[in-house]
Structure 1
Amino acid sequence: MPAEAAALSTDSVLGGRLTLRQMVSGHRVGHDALLLAAFAPADRRTAVDLGTGVGSAGLAFLARVPEARATLVEIDPALAALAAENAALNGLDGRAQVVTADVATLGRPAGPDAPGKGAADLVLANPPFNADTRHRTSPDEARARAHMADADLLAEWVRAADRCLGAKGVLCLIHRPEALADILAALAKGFGAIEILPVHPRADRPAVRLLVRAVKGRRTPPALLPGLVLAGADGVPTPQAEAVLRDGGALR
């Protein structure tokens, strides 16, 4: 459905630091994109956001790092149009370029001109997950596209990130904990200095997400970082979660 024909909402995130127009039905912006943006190092200046959707991760990174620029890549033309609208809505259109393309084509001769091969020093990736062998497909096509994938697709996104990044470029991605083996296997072909940060809904609950940071061309062994706990036993967000999700702070 074209964006202009869909029901849209206008929502504030990061404590009002970012305003996003998005479709009322289908895949909606959640914590994942904001955590991903917060995990990206602030010394990066040329970012690529793979599968940007309405632009949430890439724009959140630009809001935190005013010196940076970003290319927002989205395969769905309606979502790409919303990403461009959101960049303008937040005064970030001068630093954000939206490209409608399949992630698998980036950095290839037949792919789009931007992002150029080796031109980025940061790639953000929130790849589709929930392999269809374990989860029921959503009846909403856009939601299904955002959540159905397998290890081959994850590996394809990592290869695309590799093509987009220059030497010592950083890849940041977010995924489910059960994909850890697939993540490490995909990163083994070109990345190292891997840092893994588990995200827990509460201190007594298993992690529900992994934030992963890796450096192109490095061979340093992986490191498991102290986890992020989103809420206390009473359901109140922890100070660290508030600092990131409401105050727009960084995850270190």
Structure 2
Amino acid sequence: MTADAPASSTTTDSVLGGSLTLRQQRTGHRVGHDALLLAAFAPADRRRMVDLGAGVGSCGLAFLTRVPEAKGVLVEIAPELADLARDNAALNGLSARVEVVTGDVTRLGRPSGPERPQAGAADLVLTNPPFNDMAQHRISPDEARARAHMADGALLDEWVRAADRCLAARGMLCLIHRPQALAAILAALDGRFGAVEILPVHPRDDRPAVRLLVRAVKGRRTPPALLPGLILADADGTPTAAADAVLRQGEGLAQP
């Protein structure tokens, strides 16, 4: 165990129907559906993955659990979360296929940035970037939670640029974000990525989307496509079969 925090400050939780076990902080940002949906949206034919803003490793480790041939680099700026990501890789028998880097996403692929991941070496980048505009939302007093959820107006573009630097030609970027950010997402991708596929995620079939899953290919110019949406629950709150397949059975989502 690399994390110094006492056991009482963390919990150990099972996700994906028990196929993935995660230690995470008891308070602050907690693993939710977003990371698991993002991991499921990534194509299973990718072998060199980078997870930007990995937190405790939930998304990247979920992808590696589903795709046993793949290897990955998890990048996380908070040392305490990076330590938990290393613990979680070991806890799930994935240490041989995972490297955890403590570093700033915006410095990746630059001469002054971390040596790993190497520029142009990945064929898949996963990212669940900070969602909320600091000017529009109250900032959590918990520093780690605030870091996970808050962003200034330029951060999305910076993270897409970092993904571009990490990816080889025809590499794929997969991200999850709020629907309100659609224009900003397309603007950040423009000129770098194409063949954009957008999958809306709805809490119920009569509710607006609460998340957008987006994937795009480096260097392509094909126009965007809107995929059929994912409905998480029926009217009575029961998870739909499609949601259960992804969130409990660990299946891929809308694979190309």
TM-score, scaled to structure 1:
0.98
Report SS of the residue matched to 1:98.
strand
8 Å contact from structure 1 (residues 3, 81) kept in 2: no
Which residue is equivalent to 1:17?
19
Q: Return the letter of the residue paired with 1:217.
A: G
- In the comparison of the two structures, how many residue pairs are matched? 252
Conserved? CA contact 1:119–1:164, under 8 Å:
yes
Q: Quick check: 1:101 aligned with 2:103?
A: yes
Match of 1:221 in 2: 223
Aligned residue among 194, 197, 201 for 2:196:
194
Q: Distance in 2 between matches of 1:115 and 1:6?
A: 33
What is the 5 A alignment of 1:60-71?
Answer: 60-71=62-73
Tell me how far 1:132 sits from its aligned partner. 1.5
Report whether the alignment pairs 1:37 with 2:39: yes
Identity of aligned residues (%): 74
Counterpart of 1:86 in structure 2 is: 88
Q: 1:175 aligns with which of 167, 177, 180?
A: 177
- Cα deviation digits, residues 156-194 of structure 1 (max 9, x gap): 000000000000000000000000000000000310000
SS of 1:179's equivalent in the other structure is: helix
Q: 2:77 is aligned with what amino acid?
A: I
Q: Which of residues 66, 72, 77 in structure 1 aligns to 2:79?
A: 77
The code of the aligned residue for 2:127 comes to A
Question: How far, CA to CA, are the matches of 1:2 and 1:141 in structure 2?
Answer: 18
Provide the C-alpha distance between the structure 2 equivalents of 1:133 and 1:237, rounded to a whole number of angstroms.
34
Give structure 2 stretches of 5+ with no counterpart: none
Where 2:49 maps in the other structure, the secondary structure is: strand
Q: CA deviation at 1:151?
A: 3.2
Contact 1:87 1:96 in 2 (8 A): yes
SS at match of 1:135: coil
Distance 1:87 1:105 in 2: 24
In structure 1, how many angstroms separate the alpha carbons of the residues matched to 2:43 and 2:95? 21
Q: Could you say what secondary structure the match of 2:30 adopts?
A: coil
Q: How many angstroms apart in 2 are the aligned matches of 1:189 and 1:96?
A: 31
The question of 1:208 aligning with 2:210 is answered yes
CA distance in 1, matches of 2:11, 2:228: 36
* Cα drift, residue 210 of structure 1: 0.2
Matched residues in 2 for 1:2 and 1:168: separation?
A: 40
Q: 2:235 maps to what in 1?
A: 233
Aligned residue type for 2:81: L
Q: Which residue of 2 aligns with 1:185?
A: 187
CA distances 1:134-162 after superposition (whole Å, capped 9, x unpaired): 11111211111111113310000000000
Distance 1:145 1:6 in 2: 23
Name 1:46's counterpart in structure 2. 48
CA separation of 1:212 and 1:175: change in aligned 2, threshold 3 A: same
CA distance in 2, matches of 1:3, 1:80: 13
Which residue number corresponds to residue 137 of structure 1? 139
The 2-side partners of 1:225 and 1:86 are apart by 33
Alpha-carbon separation, structure 1, partners of 2:112 and 2:4:
26
Offset at residue 5 of structure 1 (A):
7.5
- Give the Cα separation in 1 of the matches to 2:130 and 2:19: 26
